[in-house]
Structure 1
Amino acid sequence: MRLSHVIKVLSIAALFSAIATVDFATLIQPTSTLPIGNNLMAAGRRRLSFRTGVRPSLYRVGGFSRGSECGNQQMLTAVVPPPQAQESLSAQKAAVDKTTATHPTFFVYLPSLPAGTAQFTLQDEAGGKELYNVEFKVAGKPGIVGISLPASAPALQVGQKYFWQMAVACDPSQRSKLSSISSWVERVNSPTAAKDDRISTLAEQGIWYDVVTLVALQRYQKPSDRAATEDWEALMQDAGLPQFKQTAIVQIVKN
């Protein structure tokens, strides 16, 4: 039985048939509209400083059931800043993080689950329109997985908020047992900044999806580079995600 037959999502659309796992270096293409020419490892550059700030929040809409049915196994975790002290978020709400990209990348921590199938969906704010839905294979290796919104999907619009979800079967032989997570993203206008200080401007303004993608790309391309590692560790610390300072990026899915 296909995972999509187990999980009910709003406005089910036909699944994309072509699923591919690609090298992280090919992740950021022109469709993402992100600036990748920044040299994060420039000599003498000050420490990358990310400011989450106070974010808007929205209720989680229908779709994958929230939580995990994987027993004592660690749950999936959306790699987004957790609720801040100055934010008042109930269990039914999630913070909305920002991107300037038309086709951003979403990061999820995948625990050590058996190799199998995962499903990712993206919906509009009202939950009435599904913009993207893909199933893909996971290798069963613990680490961070990136799901890149392909050029074939509708471009995110400035000022609009979108709800994304991901679910993984705990055991390929029991497709009804799932671990799932969800979060929100809003596309915003790109801030004005000096070309050589673009990444710092994005970080200081709390544009999460852009910053984490750029820093992750540098870390993946130069895993032994001290500055790349320091940028990643600083970002995880500032964002309230210290548990991922040493976590490897194990897979990028792009259709």
Structure 2
Amino acid sequence: MPRNGAPTGRRRAGAGRSPECPSSLTRLTALVPGDEGKSFLASTVAENPTFWFYVSQLPETMRSGEFVLQVLDGKDVQNVYRTPLTLSGKPGIISITLPAQPQYFLKADKKYHWYFNIYCGDPEKTSDNFYVDGFVQRQVLTQALYNQLKTAKPKEYIAYSANNIWYDALTNLGQLRRTNPQNATINKDWVDLLNAIGLQDIAKEPIVQDYKLEK
């Protein structure tokens, strides 16, 4: 459960605003800790973390997405990064990695709010969309965690999970699953990790796309 006062977002897209949006888009899901449709604040030690989503099959007219990252400073909200994305339309899990450029790096102990949305048509003609959103906070990598990660290699996700560093546990495990799709242990650990946060329905979906953002 979120700590008192911790912000929550939308983990599952739920109903759209427009009858023109296909109902399959209601399955858009962020792979983050949460409770049913709600997403909870989770941690990373990465300056440019990776975010993971499940996207249902998309018709050709609805493959325009957008990823937005904002920093929260008291009541002040500022855009850090915003980019359009062209989606493949294949059903499955995608990952989106922030650019490895200092102006976009997450500062330690600030809270960041991210949004991922898919437009119901041409974004220049409609603002109707399905979206999920959530919160991430970067922690400083301690010497103790560094040592644990070194010992766990290449399964760093074991150390990340033990220290509640959600984004990096999922990313390390997801990358291993992508490169070792037949590995039974990796597949089981991936399913277990998603089951633990109540996302059993998408735990066995394939990883179909990796977006490494560049600017």
TM-score by length of 1: 0.68
Out of 121, 125, 130, the position equivalent to 2:68 is: 121
Residue number in structure 2 paired with 1:160: 110
Q: Residues 15-49 of structure 1, C-alpha deviation per residue, up to 9 Å, x if partnerless?
A: xxxxxxxxxxxxxxxxxxxxxxxxxxxxxxxxxxx
Q: 2:14, 2:112 → 1: CA distance?
A: 17
| Paired amino acid for 2:187 | T
| Paired amino acid for 2:115 | Q
Out of 167, 170, 179, the position equivalent to 1:221 is: 179
Contact 1:67 1:180 in 2 (8 A): no
Give how far 1:59 is off.
Answer: 5.6
Residue number in structure 2 paired with 1:181: 132
Q: Which structure 2 residue ranges, 5 or more long, are not aligned?
A: none
Residue 30 of structure 2 is aligned to residue 78 of structure 1:
yes
Residue 184 of structure 2 is aligned to residue 237 of structure 1:
no
- Distance change >3 Å, CA 59–CA 232, structure 1 → 2: closer
Residue 148 of structure 2 is aligned to residue 148 of structure 1:
no
Contact 1:125 1:160 in 2 (8 A): yes
- Larger helix proportion, structure 1 or 2? 2
| Paired amino acid for 1:196 | T
Q: CA RMSD in A?
A: 2.5
Residue number in structure 2 paired with 1:50: none
| Paired amino acid for 1:145 | I
Out of 210, 216, 229, the position equivalent to 2:168 is: 210
Q: 1:122, 1:135 → 2: CA distance?
A: 12
Residue number in structure 2 paired with 1:196: 151
- Distance change >3 Å, CA 225–CA 161, structure 1 → 2: same
Query: What is the SS of the residue equivalent to 1:120?
Result: strand
- Distance change >3 Å, CA 78–CA 59, structure 1 → 2: closer
Residue 41 of structure 2 is aligned to residue 96 of structure 1:
yes
- Distance change >3 Å, CA 55–CA 146, structure 1 → 2: farther
TM-score by length of 2: 0.79
- Distance change >3 Å, CA 167–CA 54, structure 1 → 2: closer
Q: Residues 152-184 of structure 1, C-alpha deviation per residue, up to 9 Å, x if partnerless?
A: 342111111100001111234963331111100
Q: 1:253, 1:83 → 2: CA distance?
A: 27
Contact 1:99 1:186 in 2 (8 A): yes
Residue 88 of structure 2 is aligned to residue 130 of structure 1:
no
Query: What is the SS of the residue equivalent to 1:73?
Result: helix
Q: Which structure 1 residue ranges, 5 or more long, are not aligned?
A: 1-52, 85-90
Q: Which moved more, 1:233-242 or 1:95-104?
A: 233-242
Residue number in structure 2 paired with 1:6: none
- Distance change >3 Å, CA 59–CA 79, structure 1 → 2: closer
Give how far 1:206 is off.
Answer: 1.6
Contact 2:42 2:136 in 1 (8 A): yes
Q: 2:7, 2:177 → 1: CA distance?
A: 32
Q: 1:144, 1:172 → 2: CA distance?
A: 23
Give how far 1:189 is off.
Answer: 2.2
Q: 2:66, 2:54 → 1: CA distance?
A: 14
> Which structure's relative contact order is higher, taking Cα pairs within 8 Å and 6+ residues apart?
1
Query: What is the SS of the residue equivalent to 1:130?
Result: strand
Q: 1:163, 1:138 → 2: CA distance?
A: 22
